[in-house]
A and B are shown apart, each in its own frame.
Chain A
Amino acid sequence: MGVGIQVENLNAWYGTTHTLQDINLHIPANHATALIGPSGCGKSTFVRCLNRMHETNPIARATGVIKMGELDIYKDASPVEIRRRVGMVFQRPNPFPTMSIYDNVASGLKLNGFRNRRILDETVERSLKQAALWEEVKDDLKKKSGASLSGGQQQRMCIARALAVDPEVLLMDEPASALDPVSTSKIEDLIFQLKSQYTIVIVTHNMQQAARVAENTGFFLNGKMVEFDSTHKIFTNPKDKRTEDYITGRFG
Chain B
Amino acid sequence: MTTEPESGSTKSALSPVPTEFVASAVEAPVSAPSPIREFLSQRGSGRLADRSFAAVMLLCSLSIFLIVLFIFFILISRSKLSLLAFGWKFFTRQAWDPVSGDFGALPFIYGTLATSFLALLIAVPLALGVAVFLTELCPRSLRAPISFLTELLAAIPSVVYGLWAVFVLVPIMRDSLGPFLYKTLGWTGFFEGSNFGVGLLTASIILAIMILPVISSLTRDIMTSVPNSQREGVLALGATRWEMIRTGVLRNSRIGIVGAVMLGLGRALGETMAVTMVIGNHADISKSLFAPGYTLASVIANEFSEATGDLYLSALIEIGLALFLVTIVVNAIARLMVWAVTRGAPARAA
Q: Do A and B bind each other?
A: yes
- Bound-complex Cα distance A158 to B347 (A): 17
Residues of chain B contacted by A112 (CB below 8 angstroms): 238
B139-151: contact bitstring with A at CB < 8 Å (1 yes, 0 no)?
A: 0100000000000
Residues of chain B contacted by A53 (CB below 8 angstroms): 232, 235-236
A194-222: contact bitstring with B at CB < 8 Å (1 yes, 0 no)?
A: 00000000000000000000000000000
Residue of A with least CB distance to B347: A98
Taking a contact as CB atoms under 8 Å apart, the answer to whether B247 and A84 are in contact is no
* B238, B240, B252, B348, most chain A CB atoms within 10 A: B238
A238 at the interface (CB under 8 A from B): no
The segment from A85-93, A226-234, A242-250 that touches chain B is A85-93
Residues of chain A contacted by B348 (CB below 8 angstroms): 97, 145, 147
- Bound-complex Cα distance A119 to B84 (A): 66
A127-138: contact bitstring with B at CB < 8 Å (1 yes, 0 no)?
A: 000000000000
How big is chain B's contact interface, by range? 20 to 34
Contact A83/B237 with A90-B229, A147-B346 known, Cβ cut-off 8 Å: yes
- Bound-complex Cα distance A53 to B252 (A): 21
- Bound-complex Cα distance A188 to B235 (A): 25
Residue of B with least CB distance to A148: B346
- Bound-complex Cα distance A55 to B345 (A): 33
- Bound-complex Cα distance A108 to B243 (A): 10
Residues of chain A contacted by B347 (CB below 8 angstroms): 97-98
Residue of B with least CB distance to A88: B236
Taking a contact as CB atoms under 8 Å apart, the answer to whether A58 and B239 are in contact is no
Taking a contact as CB atoms under 8 Å apart, the answer to whether A143 and B344 are in contact is yes
Kindly identify, within residues 207 to 258 of chain B, every residue whose CB is under 8 Å from any CB belonging to chain A. Answer: 227, 229-240, 243, 247-248, 251-252, 254
Taking a contact as CB atoms under 8 Å apart, the answer to whether A98 and B238 are in contact is no
Residue of B with least CB distance to A100: B345
Residue of B with least CB distance to A108: B237
Residues of chain A contacted by B248 (CB below 8 angstroms): 96
- Bound-complex Cα distance A58 to B236 (A): 17
Interface size on A, residues (CB 8 A): 31
- Bound-complex Cα distance A90 to B235 (A): 12
Taking a contact as CB atoms under 8 Å apart, the answer to whether A94 and B251 are in contact is no
B349 at the interface (CB under 8 A from A): yes
Taking a contact as CB atoms under 8 Å apart, the answer to whether B238 and A80 are in contact is yes
Across the interface, A145 reaches (CB within 8 A) one of B235, B236, B238, B345, namely B345
Residue of A with least CB distance to B251: A98
Taking a contact as CB atoms under 8 Å apart, the answer to whether B238 and A96 are in contact is no
CB of A4, distance to nearest CB on chain B (Å): 20
Taking a contact as CB atoms under 8 Å apart, the answer to whether A94 and B235 are in contact is no
- Bound-complex Cα distance A107 to B120 (A): 31
Taking a contact as CB atoms under 8 Å apart, the answer to whether A81 and B238 are in contact is yes
CB of A57, distance to nearest CB on chain B (Å): 10
A51 at the interface (CB under 8 A from B): yes
Taking a contact as CB atoms under 8 Å apart, the answer to whether B233 and A94 are in contact is yes
Residues of chain A contacted by B233 (CB below 8 angstroms): 90, 94, 96, 158, 161
A3 at the interface (CB under 8 A from B): no
Residues of chain B contacted by A87 (CB below 8 angstroms): 236-237
Residues of chain A contacted by B349 (CB below 8 angstroms): 97-98, 147
Taking a contact as CB atoms under 8 Å apart, the answer to whether B238 and A56 are in contact is no
Taking a contact as CB atoms under 8 Å apart, the answer to whether A98 and B254 are in contact is yes
CB of B326, distance to nearest CB on chain A (Å): 31
Residues of chain B contacted by A161 (CB below 8 angstroms): 233, 237
- Bound-complex Cα distance A53 to B345 (A): 29
Taking a contact as CB atoms under 8 Å apart, the answer to whether B140 and A98 are in contact is no
- Bound-complex Cα distance A107 to B243 (A): 11
If A98-B347, A165-B237, A165-B238 are given as contacts, then 12 extra A-B residue pairs at C-beta distance below 8 Å, sorted by A number, are A80-B240, A90-B236, A92-B229, A97-B252, A98-B342, A98-B345, A99-B345, A111-B239, A112-B238, A143-B344, A145-B344, A158-B233
A-B contact pairs, 28 of them (CB 8 A): A56-B231, A56-B232, A80-B238, A83-B236, A83-B237, A83-B239, A84-B238, A88-B236, A90-B233, A94-B227, A96-B234, A96-B247, A97-B347, A97-B349, A98-B342, A99-B251, A100-B344, A107-B237, A108-B238, A111-B237, A111-B238, A111-B243, A112-B238, A147-B346, A147-B349, A161-B233, A162-B237, A165-B238
The 4 closest A-B pairs by CB, nearest first: A84-B238, A108-B237, A88-B236, A94-B229
